[in-house]
Amino acid sequence: MKSHKFTIKPILKNSLLSLLFLCLFTSLSTAQDLKFGIDSTNIKVGAQITYKIEVVTDTTSVVVFPEGQTFMPLEVIESYAVDTTKLNDKLNLIKKYGLTQFDSGQYTIPPQKVVLGNKTLFTDSLKVEVNNVVIDTTKQGLYDIKPIIEVEKTNNNWWRLPLYILLGLIIIGGILYWFIWRKKPLTEAEEIALLPPYERAKLALQKLDESHYLEHSEIKEYYSELTLVLRKYLDEKVYDRALESTTDELIARLQLLKEGNQIDFSKETIKNIESILKRADLVKFAKSAPDIQLAELDKKTIEVEIDHVKEVLPEPDEEEKLLDQQYKEAQERKKKRKKIVLTVVGAIVLLAMTFTGFAIKYGFDYTKDTILGHDSKELLEGQWVTSDYGVPLISITTPKVLKRLESPIPDQLKDKVQVTVFGYGSILDLFSITVNTTKTLTPNAQQQGQQNGAAQENTIDLNQASEEAIKQFELHKVTDITVKRDKFTTPNGAEGLKTYGTGLVPIANTENYILAHYIMLHFTSQNVLQQIVVSWKDGDVYAEEMAERIVNSVELNKKSQ
């Protein structure tokens, strides 16, 4: 069955509507202790405005200045440290912000909230005009915007796996070559076995001379070796049962071949062979003991008669030569097949031993996945990327760069919310990551602040946002959802909510379900809900490790909050 996973889509229609009702509003007030202003009301695109808030307070009051992207539609690019000056028994606190905008037009900086002890103070809204940069096209040529080009990420360790495979093949090939295919030096017995029958017989008789049988009066052993040389030669060239035949049977066969004109043996040759074989029988079975001179004479007689037999043997005809050639080729093929079988068996045994060794050291599943390949394992061991997504910025480390995804917004919400979504993976993948940011826009907040003396600040209930995300699971027909929630703190101190659990996810185009795990992280700042979702199939240990690594890497840029 093909593996599947589910992707948790960002909170869209239902969740966006729900987000509007999560906003709680607080009041604003003014005081003479608060001063504010900007260094310029007219800038060029991308230039910086310095927004200054000055507060005079006693030394016991706690002052909280605005933090995060509260100056929208202008963006905060730098939040400077508070400058503190002591004036008699009071403190003069100055907080500065670097603001910018990359689109031309007229903008209004909304009122900013400053908490002074038990009082909440608000600044007035300020108007800023952002102008385009004028370009002299007569001096600077204009060119079309270059298209986006996808560049494949290079992996610095790509060479390791091919190198390991190559080294393994070289080692296995070397072992198989050394023990199977290598042309080994022949032993003396093998070299003798390759000689023609006549030369082999003559060499055996020569070695018999070099033996010490006669010196030690070992007549029986001497005659056994002597007759064995003769019988082997006759077995290969004359009668293929010469070794197991009795003396009478062998001589009768030689007589038959002579009478049938098949081999022109002389009577003397047959007589001499018969005489020596019978004497050898007496020595071996009747404990006869001829003198040494007779034994030496019999050996010389055998040498001569082997020569006579060779001379009278008929030359092989073309058919016999062809049969002999075919026999040799068949033997070569047989040897080659044997080597191939040994090679295959040896390779399998070596691979099995290697696999077993790695499985014992690293585990069966890890070794199997390394050899056969595993999508999640390749992601886990690939080159990870750390990037920032959305505004406010979310820094996260992922196995792949997240791509911007389309996020359709209902017409009735387009002027009220702004959603950005980045993700990796689809419904058919083993693993997915989604990062989305939802902003509640308040274009009329300044007018309402002037009329009612109050500016709007949205406070989002993260538990409610988590419930809305779970409802999105149910809309995708996920069943048996388990939900657990814990407080979550990023490495740089940002606090949020962690929701995690499991669910049965339908497999596309089937009626089957698979168990999957999910982790959701929710964070909030003024008018902003940030959500990170990671999901993976149950039983995928590599995906589980990736999810843990991704969650532990999440950081929120405090300056952009």
Residue-level pLDDT, tens digit, the chain, 561 residues = 444 444 444 433 444 434 333 332 223 333 457 889 999 889 888 888 999 999 888 877 888 888 888 888 888 888 898 888 887 788 888 999 999 988 888 899 999 988 888 888 889 889 999 988 776 666 655 666 666 666 555 555 556 656 777 887 788 788 878 877 777 777 777 777 778 888 889 899 988 888 888 888 889 999 999 999 999 999 988 888 989 999 999 999 999 988 888 888 899 999 999 999 999 999 988 888 888 899 889 999 999 999 999 888 887 666 666 766 776 788 788 888 888 888 888 778 877 777 777 667 666 666 666 665 567 787 888 889 998 888 888 999 999 889 888 877 776 676 788 888 998 876 556 688 999 898 887 654 444 444 444 444 446 889 988 998 888 888 878 888 899 999 999 888 889 999 999 988 887 777 888 888 999 999 998 788 999 999 888 888 888 888 999 999 999 875 544
Least Cα distance to 345 among 182, 172, 184, 167 occurs for 172
pLDDT value, residue 352: 78
Measured between alpha carbons, how far is 418 from 10 in angstroms, rounded to an integer?
Answer: 12
Structure token pair of residue 267: 């009577």
For residue 162, give both structure tokens.
């091919």
Question: What single-letter amino acid sits at 479?
Answer: T
Residue 524: strand pairing partners: 529
Give the pLDDT confidence score for residue 28 in this predicted structure. 33
Q: Which pLDDT value is given to residue 514?
A: 86
Specify the amino acid at residue 388: D
- Predicted confidence at residue 19, as pLDDT, reads 39
Q: Which pLDDT value is given to residue 2?
A: 42
Q: How many CA atoms lie within 13 A of 211 on its CB side?
A: 20
Quick one: CA dihedral 112, 437, 479, 365, positive or negative?
Answer: negative
Residue 63's nearest CA partner among 89, 43, 87, 33 is 33
pLDDT at residue number 301: 93
Q: How far is CA 421 from CA 217, 327, 443, 448, in A?
A: 105, 77, 22, 31
What is the pLDDT at residue 369?
Answer: 62
pLDDT on residue 288: 86
Are the CB atoms for 155 and 383 separated by under 8 Å? yes
Residue 139 token pair: 């001096």
- Please give the Cα distance from 251 to 158 (Å, whole number): 78
The Cα 67–Cα 78 span in angstroms is: 11
Question: β-strands 403-405, 417-424: how paired?
Answer: antiparallel
Question: For residue 326, what are the CA distances in angstroms to 46, 190, 199, 225, 541?
Answer: 90, 22, 23, 33, 61
Question: Which residues does residue 253 pair with via DSSP β-bridges, in sequence order?
Answer: none
Distance (Å, rounded) from C-alpha 528 to C-alpha 75? 14
User: If we measure between CA atoms, which residue out of 518, 529, 517 comes closest to residue 556?
Assistant: 529
Angle between helices 219-237 and 197-210 (to 10 degrees): 170
Per-residue burial over 341-372, b if 16 or more Cβ lie within 10 Å, else e, is eebeeeeeeeeeeeeeebeeeeeeebbebbee
Q: Provide the residue type at 497 as one letter.
A: L
Which strand ranges, in their side-by-side order, compose the sheet holding 63-64?
63-64, 113-116, 119-122
Burial (CB count within 10 angstroms: exposed 0-12, middle 13-18, buried 19+), residue 6: buried
**Other beta carbons within 10 Å of 388:** 13
The answer to whether 501 touches 481, Cβ cutoff 8 Å, is yes
For residue 179, the 8-state DSSP code is: I
Q: What angle do CA 27, 29, 35 make, to 5 degrees?
A: 135
Report how far apart, in Å, the C-alpha atoms of 253 and of each of 249, 282, 320, 535 are: 6, 21, 22, 90
Q: Is the dihedral of CA 467, 469, 473, 474 positive or negative?
A: positive
Alpha-carbon gap, residue 459 to 529, rounded angstroms: 10
Lay out the sheet containing 385-389: strands in order across: 385-389, 394-398, 555-556
Q: Look at residues 520, 556, 559, 560 and name the one whose alpha carbon lies nearest to residue 396.
A: 556
Distance from CA of residue 310 to its chain's centroid?
71
Residue 180, class by beta-carbon neighbours within 10 Å (0-12 exposed, 13-18 middle, 19+ buried)?
middle
The helix/strand count (H/E) of the chain reads as 14, 21
Q: Which of 431, 432, 434 is nearest to 423 (CA)?
A: 434
Query: Which residues is 404 bridged to in the sheet?
Result: 422
Closest CA to 436 of 417, 452, 456: 417
